[in-house]
Amino acid sequence: MTQHDADASGPALRADRLGRRYGKVWGLRDCTLEVPAGAVAALVGPNGAGKTTLLEMIIGLLEPTEGQVSVFGQTSRADTAETLARVGYVAQDHPLYRDFTVADMFHLGRAMNPGWDQELAEARVDTLGIPLKRRVKKLSGGQQAQVSLTMALAKRAPLLVLDEPVSSLDPVARLEFMRDVMASAADAALTFLISSHVVSELERFCDWLIVLSHGHVQLAGPADDLLDAHRLLTVPRATPDAELPGTAVHRTDSDRHSTVLVRADAVALAVQGHAGWQADRVSFEQLVMGYLQRPSTAATTRNPAPAAKRPGPSTKAVTR
Amino acid sequence: MFRFRLDGSSGVPPYLQLVHQVRQSLLLGYLREGDRLPTVKDVAADLVINPNTVVKAYRQLEHEGLAGGRPGQGTFITATATPVSPEAQQDLRASLEAWLRAAEEAGLDDEAVTALIAVARQDLKKERVP
């Protein structure tokens, strides 16, 4: 990371009231967040939540309508070579030129990126057993993903953005791909931002969590801290949200009891000593699902009390 | 070389699972003072987990005085755990068996026993919260 140590102390990524409008519809709005250098951050949200919009503004493929986003202190600007060179990007469908050989792809990478590391690129595909002379269209899906990752790593960019990198891969290729991502994260102290809508696997990969839905950031921060600050409370059904310690995020009512995901500090949780109440730690998946199932208005306001419109006995977020 | 494993369904945070495994292996004698733990990168690649999780676990082990980093060499086990003495273990086991028999006579099945233990453990923890 030679050309970037100027601002190595600041966050790898900072978005400040970032927004993007498509016609009358906001794809993303009021997005303020930071990802520290060295983190492996998960960007989670359903399809249409604004994930790709955010990623494309970070890497400089899309101009913000309002606010700004910076990578290691430098503002991302659409269609500038500097911004594009600063971030390694692995797109969802691993777009490579199908008739190119792997060597051709590397040649292209070298031509477009001043910091290109040919040695790293060739060593990686050699280790993976991918011949340089093979054409892209003859590679398996897993190998194409690996070539895409290699292209991103060889840019020697300090931030790597991966958009749904494994969604098209089979379980083994998926694991091998993520194994390489984890090893390179350890090796070069790179910062990763990985978008996904598969929540279950993310806990082991990520230490930073960003939950996006309805074009708004619902939750962002260090994963462990967020897990510590949430509890799954089981309380008698009649208990209103206002009596709960902290803020109710998502509530599931049964006949006699309710299960509520609450966000609260340790003190608030310690003083709640009601008999018959049970407080359990939340799993990563429960936390994410709780926020994703929140109605869109709840991003800025408190969850309205008893959710009569969600009468089901339980939902995926609260039953394990 | 010591190898970690990960249980995705346990609900225990991954870094704590690593810490527990070292503690447990010390108790069981699988790890001894002077043993080198695998590098952060090796664990990250082996288990396919975030390297920061491994760093966090190793820091926790250092904090507990169980392991220490030697610059350029890696992380080593620095403590000999004091394993629970066989006598103490036997006593605990005997009283547990007596309790389990009583629970069975009272009509509790395995699941009820597990639930009861979980509740009791939670109550104990609550008492300890300041």
Tens of pLDDT, residues A132-189: 999 998 998 888 988 999 999 999 889 999 998 888 788 888 888 899 899 988 887 7
Interchain pair A178, B51: CB under 8 A: no
Same domain, A31 and A102: yes
Nearest chain B CA: its distance from A113 CA (Å): 27
pLDDT, residue B77, reads 93
Confidence at residue B41, expressed as pLDDT on a 0 to 100 scale: 92
Provide the residue count of chain A: 320
Q: Are residues A155 and A268 in the same domain?
A: no
Pair (A49, A171) in one structural domain? yes
Cβ separation of B47 and A204 shorter than 8 Å? yes
Q: Does residue A87 share a domain with residue A143?
A: yes
Asked whether residue A319 is domain-assigned, the answer is no
Q: Is B44 on the interface with A (CB under 8 A)?
A: yes
Residue A270's CB is within 10 A of a number of other CB atoms, namely 14
In a domain, A18, yes or no: yes
Q: Are residues A70 and A203 in the same domain?
A: yes
Search chain B and give the residue with CA nearest A270. B129
Q: How many Cα atoms sit within 13 Å of B130 on the Cβ side?
A: 2
Question: Are A107 and A208 found together in one domain?
Answer: yes
Q: State which residue of chain A sits closest to B130, comparing Cα positions.
A: A270
CATH number, residue A30: 3.40.50.300
Of chain B, the percentage scoring pLDDT greater than 70 comes to: 95
pLDDT band at B5 (very low <50, low <70, confident <90, very high): very high
Statement to judge: residues A77 and A144 lie in one domain: yes
Q: Is residue A317 part of a domain?
A: no
Hey, which bits of chain A come out as E strands?
A: 13-22, 25-35, 40-44, 66-71, 74-75, 87-90, 159-163, 191-196, 208-213, 216-222, 230-236, 247-253, 257-263, 278-281
Question: Band of the pLDDT at B21, cuts 50, 70, 90?
Answer: very high
ipTM topping 0.90 = no
Predicted local distance difference test score (pLDDT) of residue A5: 42
In angstroms, the CA A83 to CA A58 distance is 9
Residue where a domain terminates, one of A223, A243, A274: A223
End position of a domain, from candidates A184, A208, A223:
A223
Domains detected in chain B: 14-77 (1.10.10.10), 86-128 (no CATH)
Residues A94 and A130 in one domain: yes
How much is the average pLDDT of B59-77? 91
SS3 A209: strand
Which amino acid, residue A54? Answer: L
Whether residues A164 and A40 share a domain: the answer is yes
DSSP string, A216-244: EEEEEEEHHHHHHTEEEEEEETT--GGGS
Instruction: Return the pLDDT at A166.
Output: 84
The nearest alpha carbon in chain A to B126 belongs to A270
Which of helix, strand or coil describes residue A150? helix
Same domain, yes or no: A70 and A126: yes
> A179 vs B45: CB contact, 8 Å cut-off?
yes
- The SS3 call for residue B79 is coil
The tens digit of pLDDT for each residue in B24-49 reads 888 877 888 899 999 999 999 999 99
Is any Cβ of chain B less than 8 angstroms from the Cβ of A205? yes
* Domain assignment of residue A310, yes or no: no
Name the domain boundary from A169, A189, A223: A223
Give me the residues of chain A with pLDDT under 50, please.
1-6, 298-320
B8 interfacial to chain A (CB closer than 8 Å)? yes
> Alpha carbon of A48 to those of A44, A55, A78, A216, A294: distances in Å?
11, 13, 21, 11, 15
The answer to the question of residue A259 being in a domain is yes
Residue A278 pLDDT: 81
pTM for the complete prediction? 0.79
Residue range(s) defining the domain that contains residue A234: 229-299
How much is the pLDDT for A273? Answer: 61
| Number of domains composing chain A | 2
pLDDT, residue A300, reads 42
The stretch B101-109 carries a mean pLDDT of 92
Is there a contact between A40 and B50 if contact means CB atoms under 8 Å apart? yes
Clarify whether residues A185 and A249 are in a common domain: no
> Nearest C-alpha of chain B: how many angstroms from A178?
6
Q: Looking at the structure, tell me whether residues A211 and A190 fall in a common domain.
A: yes
Handedness of CA B24, B29, B32, B36 (dihedral sign): negative
Residue A65 in any domain: the answer is yes
Residue A128, in any domain of the structure:
yes
For residues B119 and A308, which has the higher predicted lDDT (pLDDT)?
A: B119
Q: What are phi and psi of A313, to 5 degrees?
A: -60, -35
Q: Residue A315 falls within a domain, yes or no?
A: no
